């Protein structure tokens, strides 16, 4: 792995992951700044709260793509598994610590899903039911997000091993560190879950355009 390739892949993925779609969509459509509402985050859930359903879909789609496309790009130029994994982790870091908005951002879930769709799509299929079922049962998005991230790691490793492919250090690091980054980004949610003050998902938000 050449140092120049490493720098380009990781920096490019970080900058892509840093794109604050929540803020860009709000400004482009004349909507309120999501940073001044709810959790103050720029991800899909708070964009739904601040901007309504349609614009939140645009934000979430952008957040997924900013994780997916850097991986496609790194692979297209011949990046190996280790470089792909490093780029994926940098994209998630960018989503949670964006250089464009004072090293703040979202929780990294959608961007993490984007990287996972490019690297371990079957593991996404395994983790997704945890996300939707727990949100449906509890009306707390963070619980679904944390559970899905936790389920992704063993699912990715088991599916990789079952396929007969080797589990190299890059893939193992991605499968373990990626979910850990998501958990770190949910530190304030975890604190609120522990003291019983976490926000619940308001179904009425889905009815707002």
In this structure, what token pair is assigned to residue 146? 């944390």
The whole domain housing 188 covers 3-207
pLDDT at 1 > cutoff 70: no
Nearest Cα neighbor of 92 from 74, 110, 69 is: 110
Residue 54 to residues 57, 61, 86, 140, 206: CA-CA distances in angstroms?
Answer: 5, 11, 32, 21, 9
Structural contact between residues 164 and 173, judged by C-beta atoms closer than 8 angstroms: no
Residue 84 CB contacts under 8 Å (≥ 6 apart), including other chains? 71, 74, 75, 119, 170, 174
**3-class DSSP state of 169:** helix
Query: b/e string for 106-124 if b means 16 or more Cβ within 10 A?
Result: bbbbbbbbbbbbbbbeebb
* Predicted confidence band of residue 205 (pLDDT cuts 50, 70, 90): low
**Whole-number pLDDT of residue 38:** 86
With tokens 């299929």, the residue in question is 125
Q: How many domains does the chain have?
A: 1
- The backbone region for 87, taken as left when phi is positive above 0, alpha when psi lies in -120 to 50, beta otherwise, is alpha
**Whole-number pLDDT of residue 78:** 87
pLDDT at 206 > cutoff 70: no
Residue 207 CB contacts under 8 Å (≥ 6 apart), including other chains? 53
Instruction: Give tens-digit pLDDT for 46-60.
Output: 999 999 999 999 999
* Predicted confidence band of residue 79 (pLDDT cuts 50, 70, 90): confident
pLDDT at 204 > cutoff 80: no
Please give the average per-residue pLDDT across 75-79, as a whole number: 89
**Whole-number pLDDT of residue 166:** 82
In this structure, what token pair is assigned to residue 131? 């996300």
pLDDT at 203 > cutoff 80: no
Q: What is the mean pLDDT of the chain?
A: 93
* More reliable by pLDDT, 1 or 187: 187
Structural contact between residues 91 and 114, judged by C-beta atoms closer than 8 angstroms: yes
* Predicted confidence band of residue 6 (pLDDT cuts 50, 70, 90): confident
**Whole-number pLDDT of residue 199:** 86
């Amino acid at each position: 792995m050449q140092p120049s390739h490493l720098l380009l892949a990781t920096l490019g993925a970080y900058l892509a992951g840093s794109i604050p779609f929540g803020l860009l969509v709000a400004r482009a459509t004349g909507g309120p700044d999501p940073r001044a509402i709810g959790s103050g985050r720029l991800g899909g859930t708070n964009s739904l709260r601040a901007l309504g359903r349609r614009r939140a879909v645009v934000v979430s789609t952008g957040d997924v793509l900013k994780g997916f496309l850097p991986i496609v790009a790194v692979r297209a130029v011949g990046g190996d598994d280790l470089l792909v994994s490093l780029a994926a982790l940098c994209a998630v870091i960018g989503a949670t610590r964006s250089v464009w908005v004072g090293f703040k951002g979202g929780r990294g879930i959608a961007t993490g899903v984007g990287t996972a769709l490019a690297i371990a799509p079957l593991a996404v299929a395994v983790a997704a039911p945890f996300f939707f079922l727990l949100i449906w049962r509890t009306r707390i998005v963070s619980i679904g997000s944390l559970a899905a991230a936790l389920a992704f790691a063993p699912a990715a490793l088991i599916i990789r091993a079952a396929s007969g492919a080797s589990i190299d250090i890059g893939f193992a690091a991605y499968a373990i560190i990626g979910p850990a980054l998501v958990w770190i980004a949910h530190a304030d949610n975890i604190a609120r879950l522990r003291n019983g003050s976490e926000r619940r998902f308001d179904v009425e938000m889905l009815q707002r355009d």
